[in-house]
Amino acid sequence: IENAISCICVLLVLGYDEDTISQRITRLHAIDMRLQLKHSINDCVVINDSYSADVTSLKIALDFLKQQSSGLKRTVILSEFIESGKANEELYADIAGLLNSYEIKKVVAIGESIVEQVQKKLTPSIDFLGYASTEDFINEFRSSQFYREIILIKGARKFEFERIAKLFEKKLHQTVLE
């Protein structure tokens, strides 16, 4: 609704008439962008928030993760945060502090800066896996590493985390043996 209202306002400012706007606005469709919750492989639940990476949206996503966890082990797959305006050391200290405070059990970090900075700031009780790139993670991915977990996938667009989210999708097959 908010996006439609913004769109209508822009079109009015640009001088479009009301009939044209009402005709075109009906053709808009919703776009999934934030906090998509899906049941996944190995009795996991995935929260896909792979479209933004900033500390504020991370906190919102971690709140949602905590709310939805219902006894599942909490895992976070996280990319580097780009253009935060903070120095890497300060930024990743903040991120590690959030991860520590939300009782995360496993962190998968992707990107050289985040791997270097976050691991040393996490509590020892958190399992840590680090990868230089999304490609490295995908190449080494084993579904058996994830079982009965709620997994938050959160990353900057440039890391293409939608590829990681696809790895967790349940594959439904219709096979008949005669």
pLDDT digits (tens, 9 = 90+) for 113-145: 999 999 999 999 999 999 999 999 999 999 999
Residue 128: its pLDDT value, please? 97
Residue 102: its pLDDT value, please? 95
pLDDT digits (tens, 9 = 90+) for 76-92: 999 999 877 788 899 99
In the predicted model, is pLDDT for residue 96 greater than 60? yes
In the predicted model, is pLDDT for residue 2 greater than 80? no
Cα–Cα–Cα angle for 140, 145, 148, rounded to 5 degrees: 145
Query: In the numeric block, which tokens belong to residue 14?
Result: 């640009």
Three-state SS string across the chain, please? CHHHHHHHHHHHHCCCCHHHHHHHHCCCCCCCCCCEEEECHHHCEEEEECCCCCHHHHHHHHHHHHHHCCCCEEEEEEECCCCCCCCHHHHHHHHHHHHHHCCCCEEEEECHHHHHHHHHHCCCCCEEEEECCHHHHHHHCCHHHCCCEEEEEECCHHHCCHHHHHHCCCCCCCCCCC
Query: In the numeric block, which tokens belong to residue 92?
Result: 């990743």
End-to-end CA distance of the chain: 51
pLDDT digits (tens, 9 = 90+) for 8-35: 888 899 999 999 988 888 776 555 556 8
In the predicted model, is pLDDT for residue 1 greater than 80? no
Residue 41: its pLDDT value, please? 94
Residue 33: its pLDDT value, please? 53
d(CA 91, CA 114): 9
Residue 35: count other Cβ atoms within 10 Å of its Cβ: 17
Residue 137: its pLDDT value, please? 98
166: confidence class by pLDDT, cuts 50, 70, 90: very high
Residue 24: its pLDDT value, please? 81
Average pLDDT in the chain: 89
Of 85, 87, 77, the C-alpha closest to 56 is 85
Residue 64: its pLDDT value, please? 93
